[in-house]
Amino acid sequence: MPISNSAALLSPRLQEWLSAGAEYNYQGHRLYYRVQGSGPALLLLHGYPTASWGWHKIWTDLIRQWTVVTIDLLGSGFSDKPPTGPYDVASLADQCEGVLRYLGMTEVDVLAHAYGVTTAQELLARHLEHGDRRELHLRSASFINGGLFPEGMHPTPMQRLLIGPLGPTIVALAPQPYTIFRRKLGRNFGPAHQPTETEMEELWQLLRYKEGHQVTPRVLQYLRERWQRRERWVGALQHAELPLQLINGSADPVAGADMPGLWRRHVPAGWLHELGPAIGHYPPLEAPRETLAAYCEFRRLGAASVSETLPGSNASSAG
């Protein structure tokens, strides 16, 4: 299905990204996806509000090695943003399975960032519970700066406000101007890795595309779900029989400093790559070379064998 034409104001780079994708129909809603490359299938799950565009700095390198699929989950990027969703994590996982089924992909590796990490955990939980009956087989999963363990999360004051009962009213009556968006989002980047003005404007355009800022309170309900379904999603990490990796930027005020310790405690056989101490919540944008190198090392060594556990030697630090 071809992409739709929209009158929304987008930068030339965003227009080019949009034109390279296609649409998938999910329950009457249009999902944007992009697929490119050759080799084993790799599913990219994005952060918020960066959407699939959040991978653009490492896209060219990834498609040299894998057939890469990225999806703007409902409510994000170029996909539809209906007022009532569905935005629950189970529905987001259904969207991923639907696109992959449509593309004829039955085996994938997963690379997930931030918001997308929770959807990846749900896919991992389904992989475990479906056993030999599974239609989608996960080969490995790598997570970048996400709330894998809700006790290690530190939602911003704005996030806490928006997921509360007054969230929809606040968004409707007091729309956030760009200057506030820029200041608040900038706090989640490392101090030395702030986006340029052009990059920040592009993230603003992605958020407001199809009036997406109006549904932010509903999209953010995944923050509550992380607590409500902690046993299922943390359990999926603990019982996974496939290679797992955490790539972490510790300057992330939301999901940074506490995650490595929780990862070591709950996923002792998993790979851990701690990025430089100045990297914040958006490593694929802040430190694309380091992030790509960490993932490629995991795929070359960690994901090559499910049975091998390399305590001590599976952590590297880019100082």
Burial bucket for residue 52 (CB in 10 Å: 0-12, 13-18, 19+): buried
- Residue 292's pLDDT is 98
**Domain extent listing, the chain:** 12-317
Q: What pairs with residue 300 in β-bridges? A: none
* Angle of the 12-19 helix axis to the 197-208 helix axis, nearest 10: 50
CB count in 10 Å sphere of residue 102: 15
Fold of the domain spanning 12-317 = Rossmann fold (3.40.50)
Contact indicator for 65, 56 with CB cutoff of 8 Å: no
Contact indicator for 248, 259 with CB cutoff of 8 Å: yes
How does pLDDT run along the chain (319 residues), one tens digit per residue? 344 444 458 999 999 999 999 999 999 999 999 999 999 999 999 999 999 999 999 999 999 999 999 999 999 999 999 999 999 999 999 999 999 999 999 999 999 999 999 999 999 999 999 888 889 999 999 999 999 999 998 888 888 878 888 778 778 776 778 999 999 999 999 999 999 999 999 999 999 999 999 999 999 999 999 999 999 999 999 999 999 999 999 999 999 899 999 999 999 999 999 998 999 999 999 999 999 999 999 999 976 654 343 333 334 333 2
Q: What is the pTM of this model?
A: 0.91
Q: Are strands 137-144 and 244-248 parallel, antiparallel or unpaired?
A: parallel
Residue appearing with tokens 């944007």 = 32
